[in-house]
Amino acid sequence: MPVPDQRDPELTHRVLTDWLSQKLPGVKITHLQTPQTSGFSSETLIFDAEHDGMTEALVARVAPHHYQIFPDPRFEEQYRLIQILDDRTDIPVPPIRWYEPDPGPLGAPFFVMGRIDGQVPTDMPPYHQDGWVTLIPPAERAAMWWSTLEILARLHRLDVDELELGFLDQPQWGNAGLDQRLGYYEHYMHWAYPGPKETALKSLAWLKANKPEEPDPPRLLWGDARIGNVIYQAGEPRAVLDWETATLGRPEEDLAWYLFLDRHHCEGIGVPRLDGFPSPEESIERYAELLGRPMRDMAYYEVLSGFKFTVVMSRIGQAMIDFGWIEPDNDFPYNNNCSRLLDQILEGLQ
């Protein structure tokens, strides 16, 4: 959801040029796009850098400094992970160029990446409802879906120890995996919104009472695995984006989120699912083949996905209250498309 952004384009151009000149002497920045609005999680600056007779297409991601959706943005960890994925794996991410921890130049830390051309499925409106995904052939939708699942499986096969990804662990919330996730999101739930949260509390109680074993070593999780975080060209992923919720855990968690967010974007908002997208059952079966083992406890991880997204939506609702877009007693933070879908899922488990 966009929020007002008051960044001065001329000042930003001057500050960014001065900063980049330390990396690329004599650089000239052209076509700088400063957003009229900015997302809650981070701000994106798009620009071209001319130097040494060449032009680079770049993007700067600026850490949250207007409003936080997550209690701890973990911005530097996101940069470190993308750099590792770029340097040491075959996961397609935008190439990392530089990181600036000093908030002085742009008001918050930021990192600069290469810009990748392509299209990203939209969340507003959801891609099953409107936008370019509704206009492409069903075969291209299927290609998007399957090719992204293959990347996800490659991610889940990475060696966490070899890549030294221990910095993603958050032991203050529990052991890596479900203990940690439930501890963190329980904290997040109370931080996000102080009002009623019946569905979130009900789902958290169910998750605690039905928690399965996680016998395998924790794997790297994307955290926000969905086609809306991928840049595509003709059905092929060119870059995987948004690693701010990356963590360690069980692959089923990422797969369930992938399926739940797609379900939310059609059934959750009351529109038909577009032809071409494989069914959840087909997806789970194919993913088991990709990982070489059965997918376990998927019903549990679907509830976990609904709980996590319900918490996120409650924070977005609180933001809408804080920005004066809805009244303080509006029920959106606890009665929205996600919470209603989660209620429906919980009823089916009883």
Tell me the pLDDT tens digit for each residue of 1-59.
444 556 788 999 999 999 999 999 999 999 998 765 445 567 899 999 999 999 999 99
Domain extent, residue 202, equals: 132-349
Q: Are 42 and 154 found together in one domain?
A: no
Report yes or no on 9 lying in a domain.
yes
Q: Are 98 and 23 found together in one domain?
A: yes
Q: Are 229 and 327 found together in one domain?
A: yes
Cα–Cα distance list, 65 to 38, 92, 182, 320 (Å):
11, 28, 27, 17
CATH value at residue 274: 3.90.1200.10
Q: Are 51 and 191 found together in one domain?
A: no
- Total structural domains within the chain: 2
Planar angle of CA 296, 244, 251, nearest 5 degrees:
10
Task: Give the tens place of pLDDT for each residue, 278-297.
Answer: 999 999 999 999 999 999 99
Q: Are 31 and 82 found together in one domain?
A: yes
For the entire predicted model, the pTM comes to: 0.94
Report yes or no on 34 lying in a domain.
yes
Is residue 189 pLDDT above 50, yes or no?
Answer: yes
Q: Are 220 and 327 found together in one domain?
A: yes
Report yes or no on 126 lying in a domain.
no
CATH value at residue 8: 3.30.200.20
Q: Are 220 and 74 found together in one domain?
A: no
Report yes or no on 332 lying in a domain.
yes
Q: H/E/C letters for each residue in 280-301?
A: HHHHHHHHHHHHCCCCCCHHHH
